[in-house]
Each structure stands twice: as structure tokens, then as C-alpha cells.
Amino acid sequence: MRKGYCDTALTDKIKELRKSKGLTQREFADILGININTIAQAESYRQNYTLRLLRRISETFQIPMRWFFDEPGDLDDTGIYKILDRIDTPKKLKIKQVVSQLDLAEKDDIDLVIQLLDKLTVGIKRRKAKTD
């Protein structure tokens, strides 16, 4: 993810979820067991939600992980997410497969995937920092 990029569609969707439940930012943060600053920064487009937090929201509100990447009418006949149009087709198909598998995965398996992605992200950030 490039520096300064924030997925506004995802942020807006989560904000809409929070409001549909009648929750303030503080109440939402308390339910999720996180600091209110995380929600405040995300909703002001200064920070993205982590995969770990998306999973917590998914479990807490009993919504599939795929929901974060769908919007009403965002699936075409082939099931490719329109929200991912900025990504080339081979990567888009891989992401669709991963999201579909996450919907079917057990919590322990998803936690393992999240840990792996966290480690990979740290490694990518280190390599990027060395080149900057």
C-alpha cells in the first residue's frame, strides 16, 4: 500500500455499519476492545483498518469477511469485485479466491493467516524503509 493511501470506500462502509447500530465511535471502539483513536483516525481517512481489526468486526457483528469488499451491486456475473478495479485481473482473481476461502475458514485458521500477513507486512515495510 502506498504511503498516504486510505481506502475511503472501506472506511465509509464501516462507518455506516457503526452508525446503523446506533453506536458512537467510543461505543464502537469499546465493543471491539480497541482505542477510540483507531476509529477516529480511520474515519478521518488518516489510517486504514488492519486485517486483524476487520476480522474482529466480522466476528463481533457476524458479517462475512467478504462484506468489507462488497457493496450492493458490486459483484458482476463472474463474481469479481468492482471495488478492486484498480488492480490488474490476475491479482483480482487471486484476491477473490482468498476472500472466498476466508469466508469458509475456521477462526484458528484465519488467526494464523492474520499472523502470517502481519509478519509479511513487517518484512515488506523493512525492505521498503531500506530503499527509501
- What does the pLDDT read at residue 63? 83
> Greater confidence, 74 or 91?
91
Q: Write the CA distances from 8 to 3, 17, 103, integer angstroms.
A: 14, 14, 23
Per-residue pLDDT reduced to its tens digit, 46-56: 888 888 999 99
The pLDDT assigned to 85 comes to 55
Q: Is the pLDDT of residue 4 over 80?
A: no
Separation CA 77–CA 73 (nearest Å)? 10
* Max mean pLDDT range (77-81, 112-116, 128-132): 112-116
Closest to 13 (Cα-Cα) out of 81, 110, 88, 111:
81
Tens of pLDDT, residue by residue over 21-75, are 899 999 999 999 999 999 999 999 888 888 899 999 999 988 888 788 765 444 4
**pLDDT reported for residue 70:** 66
| Domain assignments of the chain as residue spans, ordered by start | 1-49, 50-132
The answer to whether the CB of 65 falls within 8 A of the CB of 101 is no
